[in-house]
Amino acid sequence: MSHPPADQRPLMALLIRLGAAFVLSVMLVFVKLVTESGVSLTETLFWRQLPTVPALLAWFALRGQLSLLSSDRLAAHGRRAVLGLTGMFLNFGAVTLLPLAEATTLNFTTAIWAVILSALILRERVGLWRWSAVLLGFAGVLVIAQPGQSHIPPLGAAVALGAAFTIALISIQIRDLSRTEHPLTIVFWFAAFTLPVLGLAMPFVMTGHTAYQWGLLLGLGVFGLLGQFLLTAALRYGAVASVIVMDYSSLVWATLFGWWVFDRLPPGSTWAGAPLIVGAGLLIAWREHRLAVTRARALVGE
């Protein structure tokens, strides 16, 4: 029988991922508040990325691991940065255009897009279980979006679905990079490539800010960086297929924050569609976990 690696702590991984879902939900509250206060989306992204480079440089320096930042795959990091920046624009844009609960729910379609892309790009064999989950998830999207009579703007829904699709593409890139790169190295080079691009735009988009706006930008940067560290820590102690189920707790936080901060509760269509999308994601996660177990047993001759 195969055993998990010694450093695997499944319960700790689940708790850390649960904390990451909460922290990143708070970050999205800051995103929505700061853009509603008049700060441009481009500047919001700049301040979200800025703390990452010095924080990771300090982290690796204190641990004597600066050599981990060297990479022979800078071109791959560059491609990941282009797609990652696009994904961040779409993700933050969705939060700006939609209520938090709807933006969060539509973001869960990432798992559905990942199945489709795995079949089309990676040529993975996708069976009945996962194709059924894809259909279930898109049924949930239709229930929420209600084409022609929706309470949410079509542009917002399109941006949210585009963000989820882009994140699914990024997951394939990260899966490839993770074969040779430390997780935090991938995060570092993403920030290192995107910061100069965002910085070039700053003279054209930055305006004077109030103390309230600076406070929001500070909170955005701190919670964004903390969320990134927690996501990485969770993957250190547990497998992706096991911890990813905790991400769905962010829908609870998005609903509560939407009510407490923005005085907005989701309508009936969201309550009806969200379980379909969440159920599809859980089904995909369960099926991928079972496939991973089967492959592992085959490798050890069980």
Query: In the numeric block, which tokens belong to residue 176?
Result: 């490839």
The C-alpha atoms of residue 86 and residue 221 are separated, in whole angstroms, by 18
- Examine the pLDDT at 30 and tell me if it is beyond 90: yes
More confident residue, 237 or 92: 92
CA–CA separation, 193 vs 131, rounded Å? 36
Q: What is the pTM of this model?
A: 0.83
What is the per-residue pLDDT for 17? 84
| pLDDT for residue 238 | 67
Say if residue 11's pLDDT is above 70.
Answer: yes
| DSSP assignments along the chain, one per residue | -----TT--HHHHHHHHHHHHHHHHHHHHHHHHHHHTT--HHHHHHHHHTTHHHHHHHHHHHTT-GGGG--S-HHHHHHHHHHHHHHHHHHHHHHHHS-HHHHHHHHTTHHHHHHHHHHHTS-----HHHHHHHHHHHHHHHHHH-TTS-SS-HHHHHHHHHHHHHHHHHHHHHHHHTTTS-HHHHHHHHHHHHHHHHHHHHHHH-----HHHHHHHHHHHHHHHHHHHHHHHHHHHS-HHHHGGGGGGHHHHHHHHHHHTT-----HHHHHHHHHHHHHHHHHHHHHHHHHHHHHHHHTT-
Give the pLDDT confidence of 167-222 residue by residue, as tens digits. 888 888 887 888 888 888 888 999 999 999 999 999 999 888 999 999 999 999 99
Q: Is the pLDDT score of 93 beyond 90?
A: yes
* Residue 223 pLDDT exceeds 80: yes
pLDDT category of residue 37 using cuts at 50, 70 and 90: very high
pLDDT bracket for residue 4 (50, 70, 90): very low
Half-sphere exposure of residue 269, counting CA atoms within 13 Å on the CB side?
A: 14
246, 18 contact by CB (below 8 A): yes
| pLDDT (average), residues 93-99 | 93
pLDDT exceeds cutoff 70 at 3: no
Q: Fill in the amino acid letter for 21.
A: A
Hunting for tokens 């700006």 — which residue is that? 96
